[in-house]
Structure 1
Amino acid sequence: MNGPEIQIDFAPELRLFVPTKRRDGRSTVVTDGVSTLGHVVESLGVPLTEAGRLLADGREVPVSHIPVAGEFIEVRAVERPQRVPGAPLRFLLDVHLGTLARRLRLLGVDAAYENEDIGDPALAALSARERRVLLSRDRGLLHRRELWAGAYVYSHRTEDQLRDVLGRFAPELAPWSRCTACNAPLREADKESVGDRLEHGTRTAYDVFAECGSCERVYWRGAHHASLEAIVDDAVREFGHVNAAAHRPE
């Protein structure tokens, strides 16, 4: 680019996306005089999914704003909780976020998950077709134009990823109401109806069951229930409340 010079400053939360030389306060950027501010922001490495309010000399401007010489641009982080247009709030997770998908489902959050790498174009198209917020640690994927909505997952640790998503989007929680394997809703089940899918010891030791209406997986309060309950209790305590109609599977 060879045109007007602007000053730009990214919020601290966004500086991991930009080159090292631009991470300490405002820096000078030479624009071409015709590109939008959104294009400039993305050209510096920041996905627009992560950019909040854009300010030019203190006034809020849209991503379509054309920067002019001497402007001071501030790129704020997304405000939390972030409101996504349309309802209900649903997510799509890429191939690297399977554990996070299961944690969200445990909390009753609609979280579709691709357990095979179907490619960035297909993921972005699926997000648009089903109006799902795409969660990913792939910065390039979040730059795709066909994406309906998206969010960068900032941590490698599942516990931090879960807190990040819940804090950012504030989804309604309904623990124990969704199949962690396929994302479909669970329904109550009696022992007689699911008995042929249970080991003898399970049939003897447990009386309360739920089953998936899609993949027919059976759930009960088994050996792992305490650790899962701790995850649920922590999330509910910080981010929501328990749905009174929720199931309590393994």
Structure 2
Amino acid sequence: MNGPAIHVEFPPELHLFVPQARRTGATRVAVDGVSTLGHVVESLGVPLTEVGALLVDHRPVPPAHIPAAGESVTVRAVERPQRVPGAPLRFLLDVHLGTLARRLRLLGVDTAYESTDIGDPALAARSAAEQRVMLSRDRGLLRRRELWAGAFVYSTRPDDQLRDVLERFQPELRPWTRCTACNGLLRRAAKEEVADQLEHGTRRTYDVFAQCTACGRAYWKGAHHEQLEAIVERALAEFGS
């Protein structure tokens, strides 16, 4: 490789994003004197949402830094727990993370979710408009500049996805307070108020109900409650305040 270049080194936490050849030691990368360091890092496959400090010759620099020939760059992974400034912590999930969305809502975390593919520009715009952290496994989406904030979801398994998000952001957990279908807040409801949603056996067996204040959906401790309760108990045991 001819021309001016820098040397970039990634930590093991970010090796998922870079080619095998760039995972050991520092890798030589050509620079043009115009592109920012943030652009260079993303061109190597790492979304800036996953980057913490950027060090040039051991001194911190912003992503807007223009790298000069010969510089040595150390990329660090984002620190955990990650603090998101500004609005109360809330999330936006793309179409592929429906199970994670329902589990976050089960724990009382404000979680918006698009059940259809509305496209990256619309998702990024909603993230910015509502100041929501975009959670996705789509690296291209996480590189969009208009995002308010974002994070890569590392696993494909819902249990691991949930634990990763809770460990990274440590949101306040308020189980059983949100509708898992629409994210609305729940309130206690009398049986008569939700009777039109109940099968005869349910009306006869259960007396305690909740109802979503947004979509009207009724909730009770039905057949799947033990499974949901186990998810809640595990989360509270590890991440509850």
Secondary structure, aligned partner of 1:40 = helix
The one-letter code of the counterpart of 1:56 is V
Q: Percent identity?
A: 74
2:214 aligns to what?
Answer: 214
Shift of 1:3: 4.5
1:197 is displaced (CA, Å) by: 1.9
CA distance in 2, matches of 1:121, 1:234: 36
2:61 corresponds to which residue?
A: 61
Bigger Cα displacement from structure 2, 100-109 vs 78-87:
78-87
Whole-Å separation in 1 of the counterparts to 2:4 and 2:61: 18
For 2:196 and 2:21, locate their aligned partners in 1 and report how far apart those are by CA, in whole Å.
63
Kept after mapping to 2: 8 A contact 1:3/1:33:
no
TM-score after normalising by structure 1: 0.94
1:138 counterpart = 2:138: yes
* Residues 173-182 or 67-76, more deviating: 67-76
Letter of the 1:71 partner, please give it: E
Name the structure 2 match of 1:188.
188
Mean alpha-carbon deviation: is it higher for 20-29 or for 205-214?
A: 20-29
- Runs (4+) of structure 1 moved beyond 3 Å? none
Task: Output the amino acid matched with 2:11.
Answer: A
Deviations for 1:92-118, whole angstroms, at most 9, x for unmatched residues?
Answer: 000000000000000000110000001
The match for 1:72 is: 72
Output aligned runs, 1:1-250, within 5 Å. Answer: 3-241=3-241
How far, CA to CA, are the matches of 2:120 and 2:2 in structure 1? Answer: 32
Q: Which amino acid aligns with 1:165?
A: V
CA RMSD of aligned residues (A): 1.2
**Alignment-derived partner of residue 248 in structure 1:** none
Q: How many residues are paired up?
A: 241
TM-score, with structure 2 as normaliser: 0.97
Structure 2 runs not aligned, ≥5 long: none
What's the offset of the Cα at 1:2? Answer: 6.8
Q: Which runs of 5+ in 1 are unaligned?
A: 242-250
